[in-house]
């Protein structure tokens, strides 16, 4: 099991997005599930149970590791410190968990699908990023492009649709207010802006941070 944790840390150091199942759950399985198979209402044996929280409420605040109760417990700023009755987690392991939370605490690593895109069309970025409560997404194109634009979560769930949009030559921009279809403000996390046009898909990652 320690071998898996070492591999997880090496992947993190390399700058890859943290994968919950192969990296974070591995740590919980070795260090935490002995006590938190259901203790205090908190179960750390699966992603869904973790995100439900425990008797003290949610333990993960996606996009904000410092204010996540899980981090406060394992760092000892909130007592009792976790894991109880065992050695404290080493700094590198805590940093890995914090990195995962700050990335939006996704269950799955987001996969960006990019075709061989011509230089005539590009997503320049979104400003500000991270953002709260809204952001401006900038798209440049050298020719007229008709496409579909939408927002999905890091796990691929569609939450907002700009619909069919005509991008004119030059600089184009879209404003997203950080809300879903029903107009409800979304929680902190990683969201993907997706453009589909001419049988191509282009994505851009954005961070909503409250």
Note whether 7 and 95 are same-domain residues: yes
The mean per-residue pLDDT over the stretch 131-158 comes to 91
User: Is residue 161 pLDDT above 60, yes or no?
Assistant: yes
Note whether 55 and 134 are same-domain residues: no
Whether residue 11 is contained in a domain is answered as: yes
Domain range spanning residue 162?
121-208
Domain boundary among 58, 74, 102: 102
pLDDT class for 3, splitting at 50, 70, 90? Answer: very low
Q: Supply the mean pLDDT for the chain.
A: 82
State the pLDDT at residue 39: 53
Give ∠ CA 17-158-65 in degrees, rounded to 5: 40
Whether the model clears a pTM of 0.75, i.e. scores above it, the answer is no
pLDDT class for 9, splitting at 50, 70, 90? Answer: very low
**Which of 132, 138, 143 minimizes the C-alpha distance to 186?**
132
Whether residue 98 is contained in a domain is answered as: yes
Strands 158-167 and 145-153: antiparallel
Q: Which range (38-42, 78-82, 89-93, 192-196) has the least confidence?
A: 38-42
Note whether 96 and 30 are same-domain residues: yes
Q: Give the number of domains in the chain.
A: 2
Q: Produce one character per residue of 32-53: b if its CB has 16 or more CB atoms within 10 Å, e if not.
A: bbebbeeeeebbbeebebbeeb
Note whether 92 and 155 are same-domain residues: no
Whether residue 181 is contained in a domain is answered as: yes
Note whether 202 and 156 are same-domain residues: yes
Whether residue 109 is contained in a domain is answered as: no
| pLDDT tens per residue across span 119-130 | 578 899 999 999
User: Is residue 50 pLDDT above 90, yes or no?
Assistant: no
Start-to-end C-alpha separation, the chain: 35
């Amino acid at each position: 099991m320690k071998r898996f944790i070492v591999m997880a840390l090496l992947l993190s150091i390399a700058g890859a997005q943290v994968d919950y199942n192969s990296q974070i759950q591995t740590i919980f399985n070795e260090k935490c599930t002995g006590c938190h198979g259901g203790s205090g209402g908190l179960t750390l044996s699966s992603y869904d149970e973790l995100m439900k929280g425990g008797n003290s409420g949610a333990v993960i605040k996606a996009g904000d590791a410092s204010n996540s109760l899980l981090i406060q417990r394992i760092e000892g700023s909130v007592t009792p410190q976790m894991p109880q009755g065992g050695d404290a987690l080493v700094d590198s392991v805590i940093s890995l968990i914090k990195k995962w939370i700050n990335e939006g605490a996704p269950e799955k690593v987001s996969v960006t699908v990019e075709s061989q895109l011509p230089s005539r069309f590009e997503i320049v970025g979104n400003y500000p990023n991270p953002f709260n409560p809204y952001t401006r997404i900038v798209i440049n194109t050298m020719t007229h492009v008709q496409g579909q634009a939408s927002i999905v979560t890091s796990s691929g769930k569609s939450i907002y649709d700009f619909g069919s949009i005509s991008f004119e030559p030059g600089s184009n921009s879209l404003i997203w207010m950080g809300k879903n279809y029903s107009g409800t403000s979304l929680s902190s996390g990683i969201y993907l802006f997706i453009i589909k046009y001419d049988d191509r898909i282009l994505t851009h990652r954005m961070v909503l941070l409250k």
